[in-house]
Amino acid sequence: MLFCSQDYAIFLALVLGLYWALPWPRARVVLLLAASLYFYACWNRWLALLIAATSTMDYAVGLGLESWQSDRKRKALLATSLVANLGMLAAFKYANFFLGSLESALNACGAHASFPLLRVILPVGISFYTFEAVNYTVDVYRRRIPAERDLSHFLLFVTFFPHLVAGPIVRARDFLPQVRRVKRWSWPRAELGVSLLLMGLFKKMAIADRMAMYVDPVFAHPDAYGSYATWIATIAYAIQIYCDFSGYTDMALGAAHLLGYKLAPNFRMPYLSANVSEFWRRWHISLSTWLRDYLFIPLGGSRGSWWRTARNLLITMTLGGLWHGASWTFVVWGLLHGLLLIAHRGFQAICGPRLSRLLQTSGGTIVRVGLTFVAVCVGWVFFRATTFATASTMLRHLFVPADGLPTPIPTGAFWTLIGVVALAHAVGKVGGWGAVSSRLSSWAIGFGYAMALTIALLLAPNGGNVFIYFQF
Amino acid sequence: MSPAPPRRKAALNRRARLAIVCGLLFYIAGQAGFRLALAWRPEVGDREFGTKLANLRAKLAESPGRPLALMLGSSRVATGFRPEALPRLIGPDGREAIAFNFAQVGTGPQLAHLVLHRLLSQGVKPDWVFVEFWPPFWAVDGYLEGTVQSLNLAALDWPAARLIARYLPKPKQLYARWLPTQLAPIFASRFVLLSRLGGSWAPNFDPDRRLRNLDQTGWWAPLAAVTDADRSRLFEHYRSIYADRLAHFKSRPTPDRALRDLIALCRREGIKVAVVVLPEADDFRALYPADARQSIDTYLTRLAREVPVIDARDWISAQGFSDGHHLLPPGASTFTERLGREALAPLLRGESPQLLARPDCDALTR
């Protein structure tokens, strides 16, 4: 059930109607839990049972971690939970990847190896809910949060349908107190939810899915297209993945607000970042903060030597890349970002005060934003390409002029949508939509909502594409 | 952050509520307005039907009060019936009739019934309707299921949707598709609308492809001429599509019912109706086995007891076709001129022409 589908609109309307009609908080939690499991079961009912089962185990682990005093026992319990959660993730997502890589490596060394492929379905959202479960058990282990005593509350934390399949990765300490709180209908909050839903729908249907028309044919046959089409495809992919993922997140946040819940924002106009470090503070924030708190800092963070910090950054970003998908192209994407982060730290260290002041000027900032965007786009080539051959052809055509086919379709729509994205960023930069809308009448705002929905429906492509991050 | 004072909170509540309600009302008004526009100007959402309707209205406006003869059918009629090649058609009251080609690509008897229904609901009432009989459309029950996918259901009102649903094996599926198009007609018509903005907005979608080389009388000439090699290639293409259907020809109940419903509608509305069997090239007619030919002749003979049937199957030689069954412009002129002279003119005068003069049919009717 896609967020931008008719089925989801009916589902959400029914859930909202029932939810606010129920006067009992407990019944609302049960309703949301049932709706969330139904939402997942629409895709695969057996894997909905799997989430319920692993979450119940994590719930029991949390209780054990809180009640047991022995460090050794607590460590063993934490290890059990981590092995179970990460093991499940590895089995479903990475088993074939590791077997395939091992086979290739052995064959390259002259040995004849042939491993069978495991026939497994990748559970949608497994990377997201695994990380949520891990943050809960680790935080309970660290005694930063108390263990949740109510199983239905805990199950709702993991399975809450707005964030279940593609995040944002919620923290137990943010979400569980909200489950306990009694919700009251609030029109301003409902309006916020509606505006987020519409913004997400617009980003996904009007922009991301349209950009895909410039991307997919070029990445499918990169040899056939010239440099211009390759640049258009690369920029279009940067816009597509941003509008696709942030659009999904907006819709998740909007649905949550309509139900009286607040999820953490995941994006803050990342393409306005002036360096890669800033990019990761603006892009997929829930993942980057998770990686920081549960991987980078436990590895030692930036407390040690320059080399140690660099090593930690590389490990964190490479594993972050692997988290996205079981492919070496994702690993290289993560590694590239790790190297860019290290390079940025190195540059900061050697950058003199004069150059630093120059880079802080408007012109310098534009150059930095531009360079960061190009670096991120190069990274997206590895992220989008399914093979290294594709990535290398794309990169060659990006930086070495090449003849070939023009763009798959005329670029009128591309430039118009680029203009829309640029305008939205400009408005966001000068004070945000909140500042603009506070000066408008309710009629004008309502008209804007109707227009956003109408244009999103008007520009929706045939069939609609699955959200990119659903595969992770 | 301190909570807002009660008056400020009430104002915020009112403002948010008003914004949501206004948004909903504007959205509904926009969709409803567009739906009305579709009814008022069908060419907005259905380019082929709407453009032909606009052209027909223009023709009627040029000479009001003249009798109207409409030809309905598929692309074969669209390319084959060329009203400007007709001799003058004089009605029984001495007024000259207007002839118009209202054929649309893919129109079998079910869609011909729909077209007539839509024309009547648009206030266009012909005096004569000539409807095509083409065996491949009668040989299958389910051709409509594929064709209906390409219809813009947003442009159909409830009676039209009900009309077409009755010819489908699962009418509820059509209603399930039709209802959302009425709630969001802009979404349902988006490709037609976007195509006006240029190719980058609606790639691989060209709603005007059937309007190119369309004249003001509804005749469509997508091809001016073909080489012999192209003709052979096109014939082979269509042979692979139709040969099997024709080899096992048997008139199916659904198209037959649709034709009879159309005839009944014409009678209710006081419209005279006739059936036309358009020309086919020799090699195309050779695709019909003897028993199929006999089955078709039997069907037409029975039909001729109810309505006039004009059998023009062997009127044009192979050179007049692009592919054995679609007429080229010269073939269309020859066919239309003869059709007008031998069939339409007498029929419009109220005479009974010798229409089914085929020996085998005569034998059946004796």
Output the CA torsion B332→B338→B341→B342 (10° steps): -130
Domain ranges of chain A: 6-184, 188-471
Count Cβ atoms below 10 Å from residue B184 Cβ, excluding itself. 21
The pLDDT of residue B87: 92
- Contact (CB<8Å) B19/A449: yes
Contact state of B23 with A448 under an 8 Å Cβ cutoff = yes
pLDDT of the residue at B191: 87
B26 contact A CB<8A: yes
Closest CA to B329 of B234, B222, B208, B228: B222
| pLDDT exceeds 50 at position A296 | yes
Q: Which residues pair with B273 in a beta bridge?
A: B129
Domain ranges in chain B are 41-171+209-365
Q: Residue A254: name the closest of A166, A380, A376, A163 by CA.
A: A163
CB contact B27 to A (< 8 Å): yes
Q: Cα–Cα distances in Å, from A183 out to A9, A32, A192, A260, B61? A: 22, 13, 16, 6, 65
Question: B41-171+209-365 has which fold?
Answer: Rossmann fold (3.40.50)
Please confirm whether the linkage preceding B6 is cis (ω < 30° from 0).
no
pLDDT average, residue stretch B280-309? 91
Closest-CA residue to A52 (of A167, A125, A158): A158
Share of chain B above pLDDT 70, in %: 95
Q: What is the pLDDT of residue B2?
A: 56
DSSP category for residue A205: I
Name the residue facing A446 among B22, B186, B203 (closest C-beta): B22
Which residues of chain B does A186 touch, with a Cβ-Cβ cutoff of 8 Å?
Answer: 13
CA neighbor of A337 nearest in space, from A305, A375, A367, A307: A375
Q: Check B27 against A190: CB less than 8 A apart.
A: no
In B, minimum Cα distance to A214 occurs at B200
Sign (positive/negative) of CA torsion B69, B75, B80, B83? positive
Out of A324, A337, A344, A397, pick the active-site residue.
A324
Interface contact flag, B18 A446, Cβ < 8 Å: yes
SS3 B341: helix
Q: Do A259 and A19 contact (CB within 8 A), yes or no? A: yes
A151 shares contact with chain B (CB less than 8 Å): no
Contact pairs from chain A to chain B, CB under 8 Å: 98
- Using CA atoms, how far residue A32 sits from A126, A164, B175, in Å, is 20, 12, 31
pLDDT for B322-349, tens place per residue? Answer: 999 999 999 999 999 999 999 999 888 8
Contact between A190 and B16 using a beta-carbon 8 Å cutoff? yes
Q: What ipTM, to 2 d.p.? A: 0.82
The label of the residue with tokens 């082979």 reads: B236
Distance from CA of A132 to the nearest CA of B (A): 29
Chain B: residue whose CA lies nearest to A444? B19
Using the predicted structure, report yes or no on whether residue B203 has a pLDDT greater than 80: yes
pLDDT of residue B357: 46
pLDDT at B366 over 60: no
| pLDDT of A217 over the 90 cut | yes
Q: So what's the pLDDT on residue A469?
A: 61
Q: What is the separation of C-alpha A173 from the centre of its chain, rounded to a whole number of angstroms?
A: 20
